[in-house]
Structure 1
Amino acid sequence: MDTSSKKAKKAARNSGIRAERIAAWYLCLKGYKIVEKNYKTALGEIDLIAVKRNTVCFVEVKKRPSNSEAAAAITARQQARIFRTASYFLAQNQTFAAFDARFDAILIGATVWPQHITDAWQIH
């Protein structure tokens, strides 16, 4: 891997970390409690796991030049991987067994504020 691609990869990673921090801050402002950041298992990763009242939210954060590009970056394959990881999290954390669960997205594009999409997708 050449130096320029290493720099581009590092810049993208740093941009993603900043986006996840902004998303966590934004959710906290909206009354959510962050219970996990970058939850990783062999099944996959969930950017943020947040709770509000009796709902646990599995949140995917995407930063792109526009919100529509960010939304398009959440593929069906990625949604399925997040679902499997969320199922594992719930099985390991009985505290949330009686909670409703949903999948949210926070899109960070060229707008001033992040766009929080509640119930962004469902797995049937």
Structure 2
Amino acid sequence: MEKTMTRYDVRLLDGDVDDFVQLLKWLQGDDQLARHAVVSRADETAKPGEMGTALEVVQLVVDSGFQTLNLVMTCALWRQSRYRPPVVTIEHNGVRVTVDSSDADAVARIAEALRGS
């Protein structure tokens, strides 16, 4: 039986290259995500109106056992580990959410918004 795969894109709205690299390593090192996701770096060309020539994106290709809440929680915990926590966005099926809090209710609402996409 073939597994159904889907994609999530994770970006930083602010922060620098070091923040991006640390987020990538944090997500790659998370055991819960590793069970159901392939986490990699993907460069995307900036869209008209965006600054720069390329955007750094953490891409997760996930199977049907993936839990969206784990991704949102992992991003929230990573933000807590930073001295100046960058704002994280997660995009899935055209729905983009912002992770700017580690509050449990906020994390649950963010995950629910992504699950509905």
TM-score computed with the length of structure 1 as normaliser = 0.34
Which gives a bigger RCO, structure 1 or 2 (Cα 8 Å, sep 6+)?
2
Higher helix share: 1
Between Structure 1 and Structure 2, which shows a larger proportion of strand residues?
1
User: Which of structures 1 and 2 has the bigger CA Rg?
Assistant: 1
